[in-house]
Structure 1
Amino acid sequence: MEPSKVQSEGGLNVTLTIRLLMHGKEVGSIIGKKGETVKKMREESGARINISEGNCPERIVTITGPTDAIFKAFAMIAYKFEEDIINSMSNSPATSKPPVTLRLVVPASQCGSLIGKGGSKIKEMRESTGAQVQVAGDMLPNSTERAVTISGTPEAIIQCVKQICVVMLESPPKGATIPYRPKPASTPVIFSGGQAYTIQGQYAIPHPDLYCPSNPQQLTKLHQLAMQQTPFTPLGQTTPAFPGLDASPPASTHELTIPNDLIGCIIGRQGTKINEIRQMSGAQIKIANAMEGSSERQITITGTPANISLAQYLINARFRDVAAMWNDPSSMTTS
């Protein structure tokens, strides 16, 4: 967004818009009971704070105002998240306090300026603020925006946001930006004994309309594999998601075993799916040849821990996509 500039007594007062990507639980914390928390944040910071509508697992929080109002709003959000972390720790045995994490949504055309030549700008931000800053390598789906993840103490995050705002003002977006819009949540489905169930509240309700293939055991097996989801948490890693900035951790290897009759959905037509997973994760993925008398195939994933984690996540996501396609036969032609 092109910033508008208004001259004020204190020098240049600039109006800016910053977009944040939040999970539903985080949004609930920001809104508060009967909207009291967000109302207080708006009043005390002087910033406009808008939250995207919709039944989505992710929501966009837009903060607009003069830069000092934006910093106040960010400070209130960061301290609120720290308070949530402290409250959740009182019920858990964890001893070390995890950092506060915020995800900014930034036009891809501005990300080069955030990273700087050879990663110099992002390195300077990390060193001067003490926050971890990572720019995602890929654009968010159906958009020309990237996620920029900041984690650290609330104080470090506030300093980091100030520096990011300066860069965004000095390097406005080039060309049109297609904003990221989160997709609505789909109803979770569980398969058991060839019967499909949808989750409503705490209950599993039989769903007669869902398509079940001729082999219910295969679908159950597919669903079980999809549920073995490896938590994808590259935020804690020190290597940035943008390649070539810091030295990478040493490569390691992880092995998966997948039934022969399901290997096709991972490979895809003429290897398209497995090549996509290799490209997105940055990991090397080798699928062993079928062994005589064995009903399973070995998959070997090699790369950094973050590459391996992302590859596993994408493989499990592929199982879920195929399970969803089997529920909706009209979409099967696209796989």
Structure 2
Amino acid sequence: MSDKEGGASEGGLNVTLTLRLLMHGKEVGSIIGKKGETVKKMREESGARINISEGSSPERIVTITGPTEGIFKAFSMIAEKFEEDITAAMTNSTVTSHPPVTLRLVFPGSQCGSLIGKGGSKIKEIRETTGAQVQVAGDMLPESTERAVTISGTPQAITQCVRHICSVILESPPKGATIPYRPKTMPGAGHPVFQQQQQQQHASQAFTIQGQYAFPHQDLTKLHQLAMQHIPLPSLGQSNPTFPGMDASVATSSQELAIPNDFIGSIIGRQGSKINEIRQVSGAHIKIASATDGSPMRQVTIIGSPTSISVAHYLINVRLSSVVTDLGAL
């Protein structure tokens, strides 16, 4: 993932790195800007190459290549742009706090161990040093050897976090060949898509979770599409779970999130409908702490298999994104 371009310079090794980001269409539109002006400015000011994958997929890959300082500047500008978008969407809102900026990196699975560290020591150090939330997905992205690494926080915290990630990349190169994740081009919207996917599901290629369970990637694709279109999520049938592979026998782990008080209602839903939906679809156990006097945040704990946690975390982020979008439309 790195390419040394010569000897040492005053600031250390003169290296060129490449980082890949996974973005939704709306996020891509934001960084491109009108007539491409925003991304042109980012390229000029950072000195980094910023390339956006072609295609009609709901997800796009944004590749950032350049010297380390150029990469930090590009990430800083992208995070600040997303912060502006959140603030603009909430201009007419009575909500006093807003969700953090969230970026998703696509990271070679062989380097994830170095990013997490022994017993989680490295990722804990990064969280404590930068103040950013960092989550490494427990499963590979479909048909690839890469994982999603989600970073949330202020633009400053995200940039500091990227500095740490670049250090990990330089110190621990990927082992073996990396099969890059390529978002699938999606057919037109509408329920026939999901019916078609259900028919193809059993014949589809599956990828492995933790070396033990096969997980048909159409299930995550279907979930992603439903979430993007805000269509009610399917309920779990007794004999045919929506997400086969989320087996309770898989070793469980936990993840903690801090959600602003003003947004916790959108996660819970009327009479707990939304949080129950997220629990049901992901298979994760989700606990929401009581409000602490004076604290603007609420602690949310997700417990389950790595896959259950990843899906629950994704669904919570979708809820947060949708409420910010709705506020902007008011």
State which structure, 1 or 2, has the greater radius of gyration over its C-alpha atoms.
1
| Partner residue of 1:266 out of 224, 241, 252 | 241
- Given residue 40 of structure 2, which amino acid in structure 1 is its aligned partner? K
Secondary structure of residue in 2 paired with 1:266? coil
Contact 1:139/1:146, CA 8 A, preserved across alignment: yes
Distance 1:282-1:96 versus aligned 2 partners, 3 A rule: farther
Matched, 1:5 2:8: no
CA distance in 1, matches of 2:89, 2:251: 34
Aligned match of 1:137: 138
Cα distance, 1:12 vs structure 2 = 1.7
CA distance in 1, matches of 2:31, 2:138: 28
Cα distance, 1:103 vs structure 2 = 0.6
Contact 2:127/2:134, CA 8 A, preserved across alignment: yes
CA distance in 2, matches of 1:84, 1:228: 26
Contact 1:3/1:169, CA 8 A, preserved across alignment: no
Cα distance, 1:279 vs structure 2 = 5.7
- Given residue 228 of structure 1, which amino acid in structure 2 is its aligned partner? P
Structure 1 segment 154-169 matched on structure 2, within 5 A: 154-169=155-170
CA distance in 1, matches of 2:137, 2:168: 17
Aligned match of 1:303: 285
Distance 1:312-1:128 versus aligned 2 partners, 3 A rule: closer
Contact 2:18/2:64, CA 8 A, preserved across alignment: yes
Cα distance, 1:304 vs structure 2 = 3.6
Q: Cα deviations across residues 226-266 of structure 1 (Å, max 9, x unaligned)?
A: 94228xxxxxxxxxxxxxxxxxxxxxxxxx7x6xxx64443
Distance 1:40-1:6 versus aligned 2 partners, 3 A rule: same
Task: Provide runs of 4+ in structure 1 moved above 4 Å.
Answer: 279-283, 299-302, 307-314
Distance 1:279-1:24 versus aligned 2 partners, 3 A rule: farther
Structure 1 length-normalised TM: 0.63
- Report how many residues are paired: 234
Contact 2:42/2:74, CA 8 A, preserved across alignment: yes
Aligned Cα RMSD in Å?
A: 3.2
Distance 1:112-1:312 versus aligned 2 partners, 3 A rule: closer
Contact 1:282/1:303, CA 8 A, preserved across alignment: no
Distance 1:280-1:154 versus aligned 2 partners, 3 A rule: farther
Secondary structure of residue in 1 paired with 2:74? helix
Contact 1:278/1:311, CA 8 A, preserved across alignment: no
CA distance in 2, matches of 1:302, 1:162: 32
Structure 2 length-normalised TM: 0.64
CA distance in 1, matches of 2:308, 2:129: 29
CA distance in 2, matches of 1:163, 1:91: 37
Q: Cα deviations across residues 44-94 of structure 1 (Å, max 9, x unaligned)?
A: 100000000000111100000000110110110010010001001113332
CA distance in 2, matches of 1:173, 1:312: 23
Aligned match of 1:295: none
Contact 1:2/1:173, CA 8 A, preserved across alignment: no
* Unaligned residue ranges in structure 2 (runs of 5+): 194-198, 200-225, 253-279, 288-301, 316-330
Matched, 1:277 2:281: no
Secondary structure of residue in 2 paired with 1:187? coil
CA distance in 1, matches of 2:95, 2:250: 30
Contact 1:281/1:307, CA 8 A, preserved across alignment: no
